[in-house]
Structure 1
Amino acid sequence: MPQLFAQPYDLSATGFYFDSVEAFDTKANAPRNNYGQRVEEFEIQFIDGDELDCELAGAISLTQANFAAYLEGCEVWEEWQKTHVIIAVGECGYGFDSDKDPSEYDIDVYHVDNLREFAEQLVEDGILGDIPDNILPYFDFDAFARDLSVEYSEITIAGDRMVYRAS
């Protein structure tokens, strides 16, 4: 589970670490400012956890309003679901909706290193029809990759390179 920190916006108060909604709720009542008033607003910061969870926190702009959904997602989502949210929200402009299943984002993700490799895969899969073996060495995969870049983009998430597009 990721380790988070609640930094009070009132700088005269001291923040706290937490890793669950229950821990936040318990600890959030304690911070007081210099006037003895209870602090109510916090900046939520990602402190420790795996790289994918860190990128997810950045993509959804982790806040006091969405950290509960974030923690739940970290616990129950598989890696591909986290990746879909990171791409959809962080790159394609979708809003983060905690009630939305990550598979509902209208994006396509391909686990290839770059657009050229993606172009080669598409040709191999026959997307352009049957290209005879004697013609294939003359095919310009770089030009095809440049054409694909109109609709597809490359991204690296937690060290994994991939190609994606928003449908």
Structure 2
Amino acid sequence: MTIRLHAQPYDLAATGFYFETLDEYQSKAAKLRNDYGERVEEFEIQFIDGDRIECDLAQAIGINQADLGQYFDAVDSWDVHDKTVVILAVGECGYRFEASTQPSDFDMDIYHVETMRELAEQFVDEGLFGDIPERLQFYIDYDAIARDLAVDYSEAEVAGTRLICRAA
């Protein structure tokens, strides 16, 4: 699916335009004039249509004129996991998105579970708390473990998928 964005001028005497590529944006922006014939230079970039992951990425990084090229590069070259890492790191954990930002800049633990309780159950099943005899497994308080995990882990939604993450 292609991405469709809109450049909304801050100049009230000008009309914005839709675009799908960086080249198209640059070409249209260079030609745009307001009602008085003056060149329009500043735009708000709005995400209009595309896959949910690209929408979430645009929202997380706060897409603007300065990072538009990097956004298009990320959409074309990063896989879903890389986009998810950046969305969570920047959008949920407070990291900054800069001109040189790459997914490998962030050390994120991502779990594809819907709740902290499911994460607690997964950790117990994986042996994080050591070997627990089968006769004692029914007495484990998964809700208490989930509350403790909530101190270091966050629940998030990326492209319609619920995740649990932690910036390591």
| Shorter-chain TM-score range | over 0.9
- Counterpart check, 1:24 vs 2:21: no
1:44 positional shift: 0.6
SS state at 2:6 partner: strand
Query: What's the counterpart of residue 113 of structure 2?
Result: 112
* Contact 1:3 1:48 (C-alpha < 8 Å) held by counterparts: yes
Query: What's the counterpart of residue 41 of structure 2?
Result: 40
* Contact 2:92 2:156 (C-alpha < 8 Å) held by counterparts: no
Deviations 1:104-153 (A, max 9, x none): 21221111111101001101111110000000011000110001101011
Written as runs of structure 1 = structure 2, the 5 A alignment for 1:80-95 is: 80-95=81-96
SS state at 1:94 partner: coil
Query: What's the counterpart of residue 126 of structure 1?
Result: 127
1:103 positional shift: 2.5
Query: What's the counterpart of residue 76 of structure 2?
Result: 75
- The RMSD of aligned alpha carbons is 1.0
Deviations 1:31-54 (A, max 9, x none): 211221010111111010011111
SS state at 2:81 partner: helix
Q: Tell me, in whole angstroms, the C-alpha distance in 1 between the residues paired with 2:97 and 2:50.
A: 20
1:98 positional shift: 3.8
Q: Tell me, in whole angstroms, the C-alpha distance in 2 between the residues paired with 1:124 and 1:3.
A: 44
Query: What's the counterpart of residue 10 of structure 1?
Result: 11
SS state at 2:155 partner: strand
Task: State the one-letter code of the partner of 1:29.
Answer: A
1:159 positional shift: 1.3
* Contact 1:2 1:71 (C-alpha < 8 Å) held by counterparts: no
Q: Tell me, in whole angstroms, the C-alpha distance in 2 between the residues paired with 1:83 and 1:103.
A: 12
Task: State the one-letter code of the partner of 1:121.
Answer: Q
What is the TM-score normalised by the length of structure 1? 0.96
- Counterpart check, 1:164 vs 2:138: no
1:82 positional shift: 0.6
Identity of aligned residues (%): 53
Query: Structure 2 regions of 5+ residues with no counterpart?
Result: none
Q: Tell me, in whole angstroms, the C-alpha distance in 1 between the residues paired with 2:83 and 2:110.
A: 12
Q: How many residues align?
A: 167
Name which of structure 1's ranges 82-91 and 106-115 shifts more when overlaid on structure 2.
106-115
